[in-house]
Amino acid sequence: MEPCRKDTFPAIALAVSFLHDIKHVGVGEPIVVCPVDPYVDDDYFKALKSLTELAEKDDSNLVLMGIEPTYPSEKYGYIIPETSRKVSKVLMFKEKPTEEVAKSYISKGALWNGGIFAFKLGYILKKSHELLDFKDYKDLLSKYESLNKISFDYAVVEKESKSEVMRFSGMWKDLGTWNTLTESMGTENVGNVVIGEDCEKCHIVNELDIPFLVVGVNNIIAAASSEGILVTSKEGSSKIKTYVEQLNTPIKYAEKSWGEYRVIDFGDLSLTIKVSLIKGHRMSYHSYSRRKEIWTITSGIGIVVLDGIKRKVSTGDVISIDFGVKHTIFAETDLKLIEVQLGENIDEKDKTKFEFKE
């Protein structure tokens, strides 16, 4: 799991160093990196296998999958191959263009850069040590929050002279924009939504526990969650990233390896969170120096550990955690709790993690 958002190069460097230093994966192992949000069929996964096989060879340091364009898109970067063969050396990369420029790229055989690439572990491990100051995985993890944001494309891809691209012409839709997401949704509405009869081509996603009413509009996308509310025309939905980057709001919801949490209230000196843990999982063993916590178990059975002392808990139990106390909770069943944090300057930088011994 990415400790915090530092763009794609630090994330890939951390993953590669984890594989090498913790899992003892060899430097010759081929690694494939791909986004999680494309809508694809089985041909895509067969292509990933081919990409792996190409990365195992010594011909190139980096092998990319280039998507055959279906229209002149402004939201993708473009890969210009040297030839029209299935696998070709990369001639150059082009940044996200205007629609007219995209048309000229496509006429020259350009491919969409979908952010899908393969390499040998040792190649990126070496690059990581050249560009980031760290000794090993644990050292990089401890420094992660202080790293500069940098994309893998900028740090590695655009500077690599020994790279190839493999064409892919199968079904591939990037669901990274709201408009393309709505094209693949099985329904127009998600959640508690009421749409007037005079509305056409509207897609609404409501994650809140209150009703969402839409009347008298056409061709819009609207979404409501604890992190914010979005209203956009479908044509304008690809342009929202610039505006979102201007918003400096704390994360209100996150999925974790052990479950999920959702912020339900916050004040100057308090933060209230609804936490759900999956049976058989636990939080990290950690402490805070600037905050107290009060946990109220609302459902389930588990074991709380405070400074190494274990205590069984169940629905209705209340646990008070003082400054500096190491703590975690193990879910013997699916478990939910309300966590109230009390203190000044409540943020993740105050968190210290410790090794937990069963």
pLDDT of 163 reads 93
pLDDT of 144 reads 94
Asked if 201 contacts 184 with a C-beta cutoff of 8 angstroms, the reply is: no
- pTM, full prediction: 0.64
pLDDT of 302 reads 97
Q: CA quadruple 186, 192, 196, 197: dihedral positive or negative?
A: positive
pLDDT of 251 reads 79
pLDDT along the chain (358 residues), means of 10: 90 97 96 91 95 89 93 85 92 84 88 93 96 95 93 90 94 83 87 94 92 95 90 87 81 89 88 96 94 97 96 97 96 97 82 86
pLDDT of 231 reads 95
- To the question of domain 253-354 being in CATH 2.102.10.10, the answer is no
pLDDT of 235 reads 84
pLDDT of 326 reads 96
For the chain, the structural domain boundaries read 8-174, 183-244, 253-354
CATH code of the domain made up of 8-174 = 3.90.550.10
143's tokens: 């420094």
- The distance from CA 151 to its chain's CA centroid, rounded to whole angstroms, is 13
H, E, C per residue of the chain: CCCCCCCHHHHHHHHHHHHHHCCCCCCCCEEEECCCCEEECHHHHHHHHHHHHHHHCCCCCEEEEEECCCCCCCCCEEEEECCCCCEEEEEEEECCCCHHHHHHHHHCCCEEEEEEEEEEHHHHHHHHHHHCCCCCHHHHHHHHHHCCCCCHHHHCHHHCCCEEEEEECCCEEECCCHHHHHHHCCCCEECCEEECCCCECCEEEECCCCCEEECCCECEEEEEECCEEEEEECHHHHHHHHHHCCCCCCCCEEEECCEEEEEEEECCCEEEEEEEECCCCECCEEEECCEEEEEEEEECEEEEEECCEEEEEECCCEEEECCCCCEEEEECCCEEEEEEEEECCCCHHHEEEECCCC
pLDDT of 96 reads 81
pLDDT of 173 reads 86
